């Protein structure tokens, strides 16, 4: 590998005003999801206004990190710079146990692509990308 190739990395998430609490929690190894106190629903990705009841007082709550595979795909030939090294890998639509259709997009790790199936129980894990950013991902939940 040349020096140029070694410098190629995956894009690093850039927190903004809405997503900063999510990333600050993830950096501490905590999965925190925006929550509306008015209608008691979780919201992801974060919004300025509750999409269910239009309330504006939203906060972030720690969730269990338990989830299941809602659906998934296997990436075997990603031409985007920085992603080829880990192929094949699994991108999942991950449904958190706290609320129906409360989903995140994340990698499913610690399992071969062939073993991933819809409904598979998962738990959150964090991949450290930089000193400030840890990426929530999901691995099979141990019995
Ligand atoms: Zn609401």
Bridge partners, residue 134, by sequence? 128
Q: Is residue 64 assigned to a domain?
A: yes
For residue 143, what pLDDT is reported? 52
> From ligand 1's centre to the CA of 54, what distance in Å?
6
* CA–CA dist 55, 133 (Å, integer): 29
Q: Is residue 82 assigned to a domain?
A: yes
Residue span of the structural domain in which 56 resides:
17-140
The string of pLDDT tens digits covering residues 86-128 is 889 999 999 999 999 999 999 999 999 999 999 999 999 999 9
Q: Is residue 65 assigned to a domain?
A: yes
Q: Is residue 4 assigned to a domain?
A: no
The string of pLDDT tens digits covering residues 36-91 is 999 999 999 999 999 999 999 999 999 999 999 999 999 998 887 778 778 899 99
Q: Is residue 107 assigned to a domain?
A: yes
* CA–CA dist 27, 127 (Å, integer): 10
Q: Is residue 58 assigned to a domain?
A: yes
DSSP reduced 3-state for 21: helix
> From ligand 1's centre to the CA of 132, what distance in Å?
30
Q: Is residue 117 assigned to a domain?
A: yes
* CA–CA dist 93, 103 (Å, integer): 6
> What is the value of pTM for the model shown?
0.89
For residue 2, what pLDDT is reported? 42
> From ligand 1's centre to the CA of 39, what distance in Å?
4
Q: Is residue 87 assigned to a domain?
A: yes
């Amino acid at each position: 590998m040349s020096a140029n190739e070694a410098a190629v990395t995956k894009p690093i998430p850039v927190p903004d005003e809405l997503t900063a609490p999510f990333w600050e929690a993830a950096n501490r190894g905590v999965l925190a999801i925006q929550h509306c106190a008015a209608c008691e629903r979780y919201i992801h990705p974060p919004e300025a206004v509750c999409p269910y009841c239009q309330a504006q007082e939203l906060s972030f709550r720690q969730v269990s990190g338990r989830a299941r595979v809602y659906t998934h795909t296997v990436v075997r030939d990603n031409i985007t710079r920085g992603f080829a090294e880990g192929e094949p890998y699994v991108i999942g639509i991950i449904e958190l146990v706290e609320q129906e259709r409360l989903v995140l997009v994340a990698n499913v790790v610690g399992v071969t692509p062939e073993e991933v199936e819809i409904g598979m129980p998962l738990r959150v894990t964090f991949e450290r990308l930089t000193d400030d950013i840890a990426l929530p991902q999901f691995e099979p939940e141990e019995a």
